[in-house]
Amino acid sequence: MKRHCLRFMPTALPLVMAITAIMIVRPSPGLAADPPRRGPSSAKVPEFAEMLWAIVKDGADMGPNSGWFHPSESRYEWSWLVTRFDRNRDGVVTADELKGSARLFRALDRDGDGTVTAEDLDWSPRSRYLQGRALARGRFAQMDRNGNGRVTLAEWQKAFEQAANGKKFLTQEDVAALLYPPPAAPRPAASRGKPSGPEGPSRWTLLKGLFTGEIGSITEGPGLGREAPPFTLESPDKSRRVSLADFRGKKPVVLVFGSFT
């Protein structure tokens, strides 16, 4: 089947930016206050438009939450949990209120303070817990000199010696520098319409990949609360064909929609 690719001209960039801006400023309705089943949004900004704007704006310097890269969504988020189990309406859920197993409560109580709060269920980049874990992973990787996933006593002593800088003890400032080293210097922003260097492709390369489907499908997958579309596919060993209709309403099915290369 012949594939048609779009040809990009520099004069088309202002038009692309104008169309993207119009799509992005469209109002977006608030989320349903009380899941578990939320209908599709009728005024959601298309993911394609979000990705288009991110490429035009940032090029190869896009961050982990730029464009169509969003945190995952769930029907059972904090608003659902607190509405159903916070009986005294104090903004936290205790083990007595949850009435579940101790193992389940420990899994939800991420910071181990004895209550489940909105912070415990926050998996966005704003989460203080995840930010702390990211810093810990970075510092651990610096101490783990042989990269075997373990910090030995010798490696720990080496980190101590570096932090102490010739002293036999650590001050509060030394510990802060040990646990929270200064961040790496940011790389320079890419020039508009020009390659960002060896670390990333140019805006034109990204735009071409977007419109030709090379960096992702123009068509979005099903949203939260939407029914998965019917399909029939071959099994990995090509011994049989599998249809979603064979399982719908009979047993739980986990579907992962995406492109993995």
CA torsion 89→95→101→107, rounded to 10°? 90
pLDDT score, position 9: 46
What is the per-residue pLDDT across 82-131, written as a single tens digit (0 to 9) for each?
A: 999 999 999 999 999 998 889 999 999 998 999 999 999 988 778 888 88
Q: Is residue 229 part of a domain?
A: no
User: Residues 116, 102: contact at Cβ < 8 Å?
Assistant: no
User: Residues 1, 41: contact at Cβ < 8 Å?
Assistant: no
pLDDT score, position 15: 56
Q: Is residue 62 part of a domain?
A: yes
pLDDT score, position 26: 46
CA torsion 251→40→50→121, rounded to 10°? -60
pLDDT score, position 188: 58
pLDDT score, position 155: 92
pTM of the model: 0.51
3-state secondary structure of 242: strand
Alpha-carbon radius of gyration of the chain: 25
Burial class (CB in 10 A: 0-12, 13-18, 19+), 166: exposed
pLDDT score, position 38: 41
47 Cα distance to chain centroid: 14
Q: Is residue 67 part of a domain?
A: yes
pLDDT score, position 186: 60
Angstrom distances, CA of residue 44 to CA of 29, 124, 168, 199: 8, 20, 59, 32
Q: Is residue 251 part of a domain?
A: no
Q: Is residue 211 part of a domain?
A: yes
Domain that residue 54 falls in? 10-74+190-220
**Number of domains present in the structure of the chain:** 1
Q: Is residue 26 part of a domain?
A: yes
Q: Which residues of the chain have pLDDT under 50?
A: 1-10, 23-42, 190-198, 261
Q: Is residue 14 part of a domain?
A: yes
Q: Is residue 163 part of a domain?
A: no
Any long-range contacts for 90-97 (C-beta under 8 Å, 24+ apart)? 91/117, 91/118, 92/116, 92/117, 93/117
Residues in CB range of 180: below 8 A, 6 or more apart: 135, 139
